[in-house]
Amino acid sequence: MSLLVVGSVAFDAVETPFGKRERMLGGSATHFGLSASFFTDVRVVGVVGGDFGEEEMSVFGERGIDTDDLERVEGGKTFFWSGRYDFDLNTAHTLDTQLNVFADFKPKLSDESRRARMVFLGNIQPDLQREVREQVRGAELVALDTMNYWITSVPDAVREAISAVDVVIINDAEARQLTGEPNLIKAARKILSWGPRALVVKRGEYGAAMFTAESYFAIPAYPLEAVFDPTGAGDTFAGGFMGYLASRDPIDDDTLRRAIIFGSVMASFNVEEFGTERVRRLTHEEINRRFRDFKRMTHFEEIPFERAASGKSGV
C-alpha cells in the first residue's frame, strides 16, 4: 500500500454565515484520505463507534480507500465535534467536543499498514504518533500534523515526535507557538534543526510555504469567490500534498514544490462546500485544470533590470 494515514474519523456539526450542517462526515483521516485517494492507494487507521453506518463507510468505498484497519467499537459512539465560524473563516469557535471511542484510541497497524511507503500521522496525541512511527521504520517518508492543544499541554512530546519524522505540516500560528519565535523564518529554522527534512506551513487564505535547509518556496491561495466551510481544509491540503508525493519517485525539491500546489488545489475545492461534499464529486480533470491555473497565476518572465541612461528605471 502506497500511503497510510492514522487519525480521526468523526462526525461534525458546523455552522457558518452561509449555512449549517447538523451531522456530516469529518475527521482528519477522512479529509486526508479522500484527498490523497485521487493520487494513490490509501489505507486508513482509526476508530469509529457503532453509530458509524454503511452510508458513511460507502464514502471511503467509492474512493477505493482501504478501511481494513478502521476499528469499530460496537455500542460506542464516534468522535463528534461541533463548531461555528463567523465571517472570519480562519477562526473556528468550538462549541462541543465529544471524544467518545477516540478517547481510548490506540492505533492498530496490520502487517500491510506497516509496509506503507509513506505515512501521515494526523492530529493525534504525540506519543501515539511516535509509537506509530516506530512501527513503520521502513517508510520512505513520514509526515505529521499537530495542533495548539498538544503544543500547549505536552510541548516536549510534540518536539520528540517531530524529531522522528521527515515532514511537518502545521499552520503559521502553531509554528510560532511551538518555537516561541514570532518571526516565521526563525521559527522554521528552529523546527528544521530538530530533524525533519521539510516544514510545510499552511497559511489559510494567504496560501502555503515550504522550508528546507537549502530552500524556501511559497504560493498564494487559489482565489475563490465562494467559501462555505473551511473545516478539514488543512487535512485536505495534507492529503493532496502526500498523495502526490506517494505517486512520484524519487522525491526531490521540484516534486515537493509541485506537491505543495496540488495540496492547495485540493484544499481550494474542500472549502467550496460543507464537509466532504465537494471533494467527493471531484474529477481529475478539475484538479489538473486548477493546477494549471496556479501555474499561470505564479508565472512571470525574468527580465534583468537595467538602469536607463536618463536615470529612470529600465523596467
Kindly report the CATH number assigned to the domain that includes residue 118: 3.40.1190.20
Non-local (6+) Cβ contacts of 288 within 8 A are none
What proportion of the chain, given as a percentage, has pLDDT over 70? 97
How far is CA 237 from each of CA 17, 96, 171, 221, 265, rounded to the nearest angstrom? Answer: 23, 25, 11, 11, 8
Residue 243 lies in a domain: yes
Non-local (6+) Cβ contacts of 29 within 8 A are 5, 6, 7, 8, 9, 44, 45, 46, 122, 235
Residue 308 lies in a domain: no
Residue 309 lies in a domain: no
How far is CA 204 from each of CA 171, 188, 208, 232, rounded to the nearest angstrom? Answer: 8, 17, 7, 12
**Residue 43: which of 125, 137, 117, 123 has the closest Cα?**
117
Residue 154 lies in a domain: yes
Residue 304 lies in a domain: no
Residue 47 lies in a domain: yes
* Amino acid at site 77: K
Angle, helices 284-298/253-270, rounded to nearest 10 degrees: 120
Check residue 90 and give its pLDDT: 79
Non-local (6+) Cβ contacts of 221 within 8 A are 203, 204, 205, 206, 207, 208, 264, 268
Indicate the pTM of the whole model. Answer: 0.94
Check residue 177 and give its pLDDT: 96
Looking at 31-40, 82-91, 254-263, 300-309, which range is the least confident one?
300-309
Distance CA 245, CA 242 (A): 5
**Residue 77: which of 97, 95, 98 has the closest Cα?**
98
Check residue 311 and give its pLDDT: 56
Residue 228 lies in a domain: yes
| Grid cell locating 204 | 489559510
pLDDT digits (tens, 9 = 90+) for 157-199: 999 999 999 999 999 999 999 999 999 999 999 999 999 999 9
Check residue 299 and give its pLDDT: 87
**How many separate domains does the chain show?**
1
Distance CA 87, CA 101 (A): 33
Residue 44 lies in a domain: yes
pLDDT higher than 60, residue 142: yes
Element (H, E) at 253: helix 253-270
Assign 231 a pLDDT band (cuts: 50, 70, 90): very high
What proportion of the chain, given as a percentage, has pLDDT over 90? 89
User: 163: domain range?
Assistant: 3-298
